[in-house]
Structure 1
Amino acid sequence: MTPVLRTRPKIGDVIEITVGSGLAYAQYTHKHAAYGALLRVLPQVFTKRPDDFSWVSVAAPQFLTFFPLGAACSRGIVQIVGAQPLSPEASVFPLFRSSAGIGNEKRLWWLWDGSKEWRIGDLQPGMETLPLRGVINDTLLVKRITEGWRHEMVV
């Protein structure tokens, strides 16, 4: 499949990310006014570009993150290689978590639904899989993909 000849991303676009000698993929699912593009980063790394991206809509993501997608596309850091419809689950803006606390300090947690935020104190069982609110750059994106990083690694 040849890359799409545009650099302005659209919801549903499949994004190709070079990671070492492989290729990883993400799907652009939402645009937030303050945080920008939300990506569903997929867990597989390929040695060559797949011919078909229909699997993107049904694959479980490795993690979700906000990323400066428009700038990365314009600079050739990532490429738009196709588009797929969003799954019903991916169409819904996810609930995020964020925390205060450094190192071994007890963390205080907040939840955020894209418009409002509320303090919850401790994470309840199952909340460790909620995505972390924040924007990452391309270096951290590649690092997280190659290291197999997942949301539940931060508790």
Structure 2
Amino acid sequence: MTRYHPGDIIEIRTDQGLAYVHLTHEHDSYPPVVRVLKGVQLERPADLAAHAAGAPHVTAMIPLEQALDRLGLVHEKAAEALLPPAERRFPTFRMPIRDKQGNIVYWWFWDGQGLSYSTELDAIQETLPLREVMSSSRLLRALTGAV
């Protein structure tokens, strides 16, 4: 049973201080989508909802509870917050499609329901998160600002 749900802000104790993740979306076929919030804090911010409203450090899909448990990090639900209006729809993820030499031939875009594609990325598409499941070690780097 999952203890975290969309809207939950999870506080995570790292060696550097407190980091925060906002669980934003669930999908039947993929792990939850999270926004890793910017900055490590020495103590819990007075207004976590305001903290969560800022631009995320990273957006990714990850089985959050399992990853945190695997890392041995203490974590708990600290607050709930609505997503910023511009981020309430399921996010679009990008995925490179490569040829045998490893060159990117085109990009797939997945919005949680369907696929589209383009041979070139525009400025907005370059900022979309990759369609991949984040590893525990990459999550730890993201929490501490290293990714």
> Match of 1:40?
35
Query: What TM-score comes out, normalization by structure 1 length?
Result: 0.77
Which residue among 52, 68, 79 is the counterpart of 2:63?
Answer: 68
CA contact (8 A) 1:73 1:79 kept: no
| Structure 1 CA distance for aligned equivalents of residues 68 and 27 of structure 2 | 17
Gaps of 5+ in 1: 1-6, 150-155
| Structure 1 CA distance for aligned equivalents of residues 34 and 6 of structure 2 | 10
Classify the secondary structure of the residue corresponding to 2:40. Answer: strand
Ranges of 4+ aligned residues in structure 1 off by more than 4 Å: 72-76
Gaps of 5+ in 2: none
- Larger displacement relative to structure 2 (31-40 or 14-23): 14-23
Q: What amino acid sits opposite 2:137 in the alignment?
A: T
| Structure 1 CA distance for aligned equivalents of residues 86 and 146 of structure 2 | 22
- Percent of matched pairs sharing the same residue: 35
Change (3 A) 1:122 1:9: same
> Match of 1:31?
26
Deviation (angstroms), 1:72: 4.6
Change (3 A) 1:144 1:74: closer
Q: CA RMSD in A?
A: 2.6
Classify the secondary structure of the residue corresponding to 2:87. Answer: helix
> Match of 2:45?
50
Change (3 A) 1:18 1:139: farther
